[in-house]
Amino acid sequence: MKVGFYVGDYTYEVREVPDREPQKDEVKIRVAWCGICGTDVHKFQGKNGASVVIPPIILGHECSGIVESVGAEVVYFKPGDRVACDPSYGCGKCIWCQRGLPNFCLVRHGVAKGLADYVFPPEQNIYHVSDSLDLEDAAFTEPLSCAIHGVDLLQMVSGMTTVLYGLGAVGSLILQLVKETGQSNIIVVEREAKKRALALRLGATEAITDQEIEAVAKSKNIDYVYECIGLRSTMEQAIQIAGKNAKVMLFGLGDPDQPIKFNQFEAYTKELSIYTSFLNPHTSARAVSLLESGKIDTRQIISAEIELADAGEELATQENLRNGKVMIRLSGEH
C-alpha cells in the first residue's frame, strides 16, 4: 500500500509498504480523505507537533474511510461501515487516563496515520458516521473535536464580545462553534480580504485587520479572545487587547523557538485568564454529531483537493493551505 512519509530535511516521499490484516482490536480502514493540518507543516519543517518528531514518520491524522476488515476482538464495527478516526490513543490505565485526561496519557501515540491507503486504529478510536454525512466532511472530525475542546475550556456565557484571530481552517471551525454560544459580538481579526469576507459568511459580526482591533479594544471590553494563528506577534496582541476579566485562548501552534512576551502587570490588573488547548479528550463523538447536524460548514473551508503524491509540494509551498483546509484524496469515496 502507498504511504506518505516525512523523511527529514524538508523532504516528503510516497513509499510502498506491505499491506496486512488487522490484529486483535484493530480496525482496518480504507482511507477516503485526509486533511493536512498545521502540525503536519510543523513536522515537515523539522519541528515538533503534539509529539516529538523523529523521521521517518507517516504524516496526516485527520482521516475518514470505510472499514475493510476487523480484528478478532472487534465488537462494534464490521466491513463496509463508514467511519471517522480519533488519531490520539490513550491507554485508559495510566494516572492521566484515570483522571479523564487521555490527551496527557503517559504512552499516548498516534494510531491513524492518514496519508496512507489504509490505517489500523484500535476500535476505541473509531466512530460511526451516518450515510448522510459525506466522508470528505467526516474527515473534519479530528480538527473539529480539537476546536470543541478549546471552546469548552473557556466555559463561555452568552451576550459577550469575542475576538478571534485568524480564519484558517481551525479558526473557521472555532468561529462556527463560538457563534452557537450566543455572543453579542464576534470580531474576526484577519489581514486577507477574502478571509474577512468568509468570516462574515460564517457568522462573524465584524471582520477587521490587526491594526483596527486596537481601536476597538479601547472602546469595548473584549471578553474572550481566540488566537488561531500561532505567530508571536498575534499571540502577544491577543493578550494585549483582551479586556477586564477576559479569557484568552492561545490555540494556534506556536514556534517552540519563538516564546512570547506580555506585560504581566497589565494582565494582573485586568485579571486575565490565559488558556491553551491540547488535543481532543472525549470530544470526537460530539464532533461527528455536529457534522451530521449540518451546523458546521466545511465546504467553504476546503481550499483544495489533491493527490497523495502532491502533498510534499503543498507542505513546502503552503500555496493552498494559506487559504483553508487542503484535503488529500486517497480512495476518494464520498
Of 149, 136, 69, 177, the closest CA to residue 326 belongs to 136
- 266 part of a folded domain: yes
Mean pLDDT, range 238-248, rounded to an integer: 98
Kindly give, in sequence order, each residue whose CB lies less than 8 Å from that of residue 306, ignoring residues fewer than 6 positions away.
Answer: 314, 320, 326, 327, 328, 329
Of the pLDDT bands very low, low, confident and very high (cuts 50, 70, 90), residue 256 is confident
Angle value at C-alpha 113, between 110 and 119, nearest 5 degrees = 110
Please check the confidence at residue 52 and state whether its pLDDT lies above 80.
Answer: no
pLDDT class of 49 with cuts at 50, 70, 90: low
Is there a single domain that holds both residue 9 and residue 133?
yes
The domain boundary residue, chosen from 276, 293, 310: 276
CATH of the domain at 263: 3.40.50.720
Give me the pLDDT at residue 289, please: 98
238 in any annotated domain: yes
pLDDT-based confidence at residue 94 (cuts at 50, 70, 90): very high
**Residue 128 pLDDT level (bands cut at 50, 70, 90):** very high
Q: Which residues pair with 329 in a beta bridge?
A: 33, 307
Say if residue 117 is in the same domain as residue 25. Answer: yes
Residue 282 lies in a domain: no
Centre a 10 Å sphere on the Cβ of residue 92 and count the other Cβ atoms it contains: 10
73 falls within a domain: yes
* Whether residue 197 is found in the same domain as residue 94: no
Q: What is the mean pLDDT of residues 126-146?
A: 98
Mean pLDDT of 78-102: 97
Cell of 245: 476579566
CA-based diameter of the chain, in Å?
A: 63
Q: Of 157, 298, 148, 174, which is closest to residue 227 (Cα–Cα)?
A: 174
Identify whether residues 50 and 20 lie together within a single domain. yes
E strand or H helix at 313:
helix 311-317
Q: Which residues of 237-272 are buried (b: 16+ CB within 10 A; e: fewer)?
A: bbbbbbbeebbbbbbbbbeeeeebebeeeebeebeb
Residues 161 and 264 in one domain: yes
Q: Do 242 and 154 fall into the same domain? A: yes
Q: pTM of the predicted model, to two decimals?
A: 0.96
Q: Are 127 and 6 found together in one domain?
A: yes
Express each pLDDT in 308-324 by its tens digit.
Answer: 999 999 999 999 999 99
Quote the pLDDT of residue 202.
98
Residue-wise pLDDT tens digits, 301-312: 999 999 999 999
Residue 313 lies inside a defined structural domain of this protein? yes
> Are 160 and 261 members of one domain?
yes
**For residue 53, what pLDDT is reported?**
82
* Range 160-188 average pLDDT: 98
Tell me whether residue 293 is in a domain. Answer: no
Domain count, the chain: 2
Same domain, 134 and 160: no
Same structural domain, 10 and 135 = yes
CATH number at residue 310: 3.90.180.10
Q: Are residues 199 and 74 in the same domain?
A: no
Under DSSP, the state recorded for 243 is -
pLDDT of the residue at 220: 96
> Once rounded to an integer, what is the mean pLDDT over residues 133-140?
98
The answer to whether residue 198 is domain-embedded is: yes
Residues 262 and 309 in one domain: no
pLDDT band at 50 (very low <50, low <70, confident <90, very high): low
Report the alpha-carbon distance of residue 31 to residue 331 in Å, rounded: 6
Q: Is the pLDDT of residue 42 over 90?
A: no
Q: Decide if 289 is inside a domain.
A: no
For residue 207, the enclosing domain spans 147-276
